[in-house]
């Protein structure tokens, strides 16, 4: 499993470590997020991004379910123009 960092110039948080879940199946989401957050916490990261994409919303729903169950506060990423980037979650680890 690999974690791909994305640094596309959309929102203010685009320089944060990012897990790109595009193309993931529902049953792989929990493990991918868990590994990513453990690594980010171990490396002292205060915030990270998870790209769920928009699609049918299955991956996004699983990601939010995992984060809520784990007690991780998160928010929808805001773009520079002030609009929500609904396909990206920003997770607060600090």
CATH of the domain at 43: 3.30.1370.110
Say what the pTM is. 0.83
**1 domain residue, yes or no:** no
| Domains held by the chain: number | 1
pLDDT tens, the chain, 94 aa long: 334 434 344 444 468 999 999 999 999 999 999 999 999 999 999 999 999 998 899 999 999 999 999 999 999 999 999 999 999 999 999 8
**40 domain residue, yes or no:** yes
Give the residue from 32, 18, 38, 27 showing the smallest Cα distance to 87: 18
State the residue range of the domain holding 60.
12-92
The secondary element (H helix, E strand) that includes residue 87 is strand 84-92
pLDDT at 1: 38
Residue 50 has a CB neighbour count (10 Å cut-off) of 29
**5 domain residue, yes or no:** no
């Amino acid at each position: 499993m690999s974690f791909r960092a994305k640094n596309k110039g959309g929102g203010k948080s685009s320089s944060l470590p990012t897990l790109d879940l595009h193309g993931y199946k529902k049953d792989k989401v929990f493990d991918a997020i868990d590994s990513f957050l453990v690594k980010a916490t171990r490396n002292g990261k205060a915030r990270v991004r998870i790209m769920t994409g928009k699609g049918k919303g299955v991956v996004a729903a699983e990601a939010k379910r995992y984060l809520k169950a784990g007690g991780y506060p998160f928010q929808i990423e805001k773009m520079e123009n002030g609009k929500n980037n609904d396909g990206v979650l920003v997770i607060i680890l600090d």
